[in-house]
Amino acid sequence: MAFVNLIHEGAARAAVTDGDHYRLLPAADDPSAELGERIVRGEDLAQRARSPGERIPAGAARFAPLLTRPGKIVCLGLNYFDHAKEGGRDRPTYPWFFLRAPSSLLAHGEPAPLPAVSSQYDYEAELAVVIGRRGKQVPRERALDLVLGYTCFNDLSVRDYQKKTPQWTIGKNFDASGPFGPALVLASELPPGGRDLRIQCRVNGRVMQDANTSSMIFDVAETIEILTQCMTLEPGDVIVMGTPAGVGFARQPPVWLREGDQVDVEIERIGCLSNRIGRLPG
């Protein structure tokens, strides 16, 4: 079962996949509620999905970011050893965490604006985890109980800005630089921890990254254990699990994204997140 956030009558609205359609989820208290709001208030999405609702043809659907205003977006850097190696780094002994802001998120199918101040725009295919239960000091053996589901993320990075300081925040938080979605697949329908799934990034159809989520240095359960040692994870939080080798800056010569490029992030059994690189208006 997979859930999406659609733009419907000018607002984000949660829906479930229904063959070649999407079916809007009903809500007794707020019929316009988007997916993230439903997760925060603890709705049983699978139960909601069994109710009738308006059907929208897949070809006519326009997406919002999978969650429009997550509480926290915690990202991991260097979480595949081959990626750390291609960047000249050693294998981390502790996760390299950084944060993204909700303003950096972008929907599936929407143009990803090319930064006006940089030509060093890079792709990063990543598995994203959506938290469904609150947890603090959660041991590894119970960590996956917090996970609601998984989706795709493209951690578009402005490399020269990322390298301006030892902290990566500025290069990872340009507006609309984090494509997110298109669908949330419930954890019960995937291998525990989202392991053993093929993950790819393609630029204009050319495979640039091709790996497996079982190659992550810190898996989902260990990451949740580490995070909850210092912060409370809450429903609607997102963890973005890092990218494998093959990014543009590490290639010779470097491969930077250009206006018109089509970027696809595909994860086995989860879906394909697609965006074309565009320009900001004006």
Q: Are 187 and 257 members of one domain?
A: yes
pLDDT at 282 over 50: no
pLDDT for res 219: 98
Q: Are 53 and 96 members of one domain?
A: no
Q: Are 33 and 129 members of one domain?
A: no
Q: Shortest CA distance to 235 belongs to which of 46, 20, 23, 38?
A: 38
Question: Mean pLDDT over residues 179-189, rounded?
Answer: 98
Q: Are 53 and 156 members of one domain?
A: no
Q: Shortest CA distance to 133 belongs to which of 252, 18, 44?
A: 44
Number of structural domains, the chain? 2
pLDDT for res 215: 97
pLDDT at 256 over 50: yes
End-to-end CA distance of the chain: 41
Q: How far is CA 68 from CA 42, 145, 168, 236, 249, in A?
A: 16, 23, 22, 10, 29
| Element of type H or E holding 226 | helix 220-227
Reported as a single tens digit per residue, the pLDDT across 210-232 is 999 999 999 999 999 999 999 99
Contact 35, 188 (CB under 8 A): no
Question: Mean pLDDT over residues 68-85, rounded?
Answer: 94
Q: Are 106 and 193 members of one domain?
A: yes
* Cβ count near 102 (within 10 Å): 17
Whether the model clears a pTM of 0.75, i.e. scores above it, the answer is: yes
Q: Are 217 and 247 members of one domain?
A: yes
Q: Which residues constitute the domain of residue 207?
A: 73-279
Q: Are 7 and 112 members of one domain?
A: no
Three-state DSSP at 193 gives helix
Residue 199: Cβ-neighbour burial (10 angstroms; 0-12, 13-18, 19+): buried
Q: Are 37 and 86 members of one domain?
A: no
Report if residue 68 sits inside a domain.
no
Q: What tokens appear for 51 in the block?
A: 């109710």
